[in-house]
Structure 1
């Protein structure tokens, strides 16, 4: 279907699905996916979010399934008002226009309150019994490796322009395997998989709401925590990060954290390496394949996390050497 035809069909579907006069439809936001978001504003100034989520690119059934799971956990997520799965059209409740990232950029003094509540949301999700969610995929070592390889396939080759022969000198694939082994051995919990400041909404009552959860899996306990505290889009002071990790320990059931605090911090670090390798690869792919240039601006921060962690662990020294030799353009 041509783009214009799809837009016409989408608009007609919205008008038929909402049983109230529509004042206007405006672009709400965009993200790194193929989805498009629109705010539907009614004459009474109430609003909904209409989502165009092409089924050939997006897992829409997963979105519905995980929305129900999170709602059952009492996690604040958009309520699905209507959907048309054949075309990938949704109407959901509107959690507002303001992300946590936007609020923090206006006033970092809000960080203690926001992050305290965000960490509590992670604990709440992870304290749920994972055996209840057998339909969720396992975040296995194969997927972790595929994600880390994006760093080589898109960042090293396209952004840094490093050839295969040079990459092989640093034994990166062996390092990736070690990271996957160590992170996969962590306790398994419900993982949102993209839990960061751009996906947390703050409404007019300062309540938090959670977006972009359709890729949730059963995976390592530190994944969402590192996504939040070593966020690719905003930097937090290290003492503050350690304070929030301590909070997570206190709020998470003892059956899920079976390691010492020191070992948990190491698990947190190594999970961060995996996630940041993946993120750098995705940001580069967005630029070079999808022509979305803005994400490349977040690589320096993400690389800085990676560089600092690699310097702490002997088995990551080859990756550290690679990063020192090939600086970001």
Structure 2
């Protein structure tokens, strides 16, 4: 076990006041980060993030966590940090992840999602954070993951210039609506929302994790992350009801709904590319099982008139048999 622990951990824990704590490894995510739960003799717990350089840098996480805490979003408190070593000691939010909890408490789904929507409404009422812009260059770079990784994995030779041109046409209309931007967490979904008081009504208060890639951009993006979740089935009726809830609270209209479809298609195309990359480059085949769910949401987004140029590209470049099998079998 000691061989698996981060280098310099004993000194770090001693400085943080956690000498002698039991260190339990936890399941990691799609990055190089690792997580451990610490258990002290008095029963208190904390979370240890190991974000080893040069592959990882915890400074963005610390930066965003501090801003969120100052602006009403429930992020884990930072108990200690050595960024140069990639070590961060965090408040323990427990094990009640929204996705897993709802698997066992499906009757609370409407209320739990409503609380997550209301948290976004509150976040979007705040001034945008001091983060980089979610601009066209970022949108295009992300969408490009589809043609860079998924298409070759499927043995497809596609029109990459036409892909970029189609996305320019689809995304340019939403850019003026980013002139009053909000903080975009980018991975706001049921695996990254923790229920802090699961014994409370409808799962109690919620906290967020995995927000280190936050940018400043469009209000619809995090709604897409939540309601077109790659890792959990969200009924279409629930998606529609929660989108209505957000629009009613913010006064968003038809342009917003069109932008929701635009960013839904962009995000879902990106995720399909990322999951293909995780398999081909990183040997993480388990993410392939999520592609049919993402592909299904992508197809629904493509039906919106705002996606006509991208829908035409798919019709010309991705054979119907692949689309009919919700993304097909990767090679």
With structure 1 as the length reference, what TM-score do the two structures score? 0.89
Aligned equivalent of 1:154 = 149
Gaps of 5+ in 2: 199-203
Aligned equivalent of 1:316 = 310
1:51-66 → structure 2 map (5 Å cutoff): 51-66=49-64
Aligned equivalent of 2:175 = 184
Out of 180-189 and 270-279, give the one that drifted further.
180-189
Q: Secondary structure at the match of 1:190?
A: strand
Q: CA deviation at 1:20?
A: 4.3
Q: Secondary structure at the match of 1:215?
A: coil
1:268 and 2:260 are equivalent in the alignment: yes
Aligned equivalent of 1:244 = 242
Aligned equivalent of 1:175 = 166
Question: In structure 2, what is the Cα distance between the partners aligned to 1:93 and 1:325?
Answer: 48
1:326 and 2:317 are equivalent in the alignment: no
- Provide Cα deviations, 1:221-246, integer angstroms capped at 9, x if missing partner: 10001110111111222222222112
Aligned equivalent of 2:11 = 13
Q: Is the 8 A contact 1:22 1:40 kept in 2?
A: no
Aligned equivalent of 2:195 = 202
1:289-308 → structure 2 map (5 Å cutoff): 289-308=281-300
Q: Secondary structure at the match of 1:91?
A: strand
Question: In structure 1, what is the Cα distance between the partners aligned to 2:280 and 2:237?
Answer: 36
Question: In structure 1, what is the Cα distance between the partners aligned to 2:294 and 2:300?
Answer: 10
Q: Is the 8 A contact 1:186 1:220 kept in 2?
A: yes
Question: In structure 1, what is the Cα distance between the partners aligned to 2:140 and 2:225?
Answer: 18
Aligned pair count reads 313
Q: CA deviation at 1:170?
A: 9.4
Change (3 A) 1:172 1:323: farther
Out of 233-242 and 69-78, give the one that drifted further.
233-242
Question: In structure 1, what is the Cα distance between the partners aligned to 2:45 and 2:184?
Answer: 30
Aligned equivalent of 2:34 = 36
1:193 and 2:178 are equivalent in the alignment: no
With structure 2 as the length reference, what TM-score do the two structures score? 0.88
Question: In structure 2, what is the Cα distance between the partners aligned to 1:183 and 1:69?
Answer: 26
Gaps of 5+ in 1: none
Match for residue 124 of structure 2 among 123, 126, 131 = 126
Out of 319-328 and 203-212, give the one that drifted further.
319-328
Aligned equivalent of 1:211 = 209
Change (3 A) 1:198 1:96: same
Which aligned segments of 4 or more residues in structure 1 are displaced greater than 4 angstroms?
none
Question: In structure 2, what is the Cα distance between the partners aligned to 1:169 and 1:284?
Answer: 17
Question: In structure 2, what is the Cα distance between the partners aligned to 1:10 and 1:114?
Answer: 40
Question: In structure 1, what is the Cα distance between the partners aligned to 2:216 and 2:175?
Answer: 11
Q: Is the 8 A contact 1:307 1:320 kept in 2?
A: no
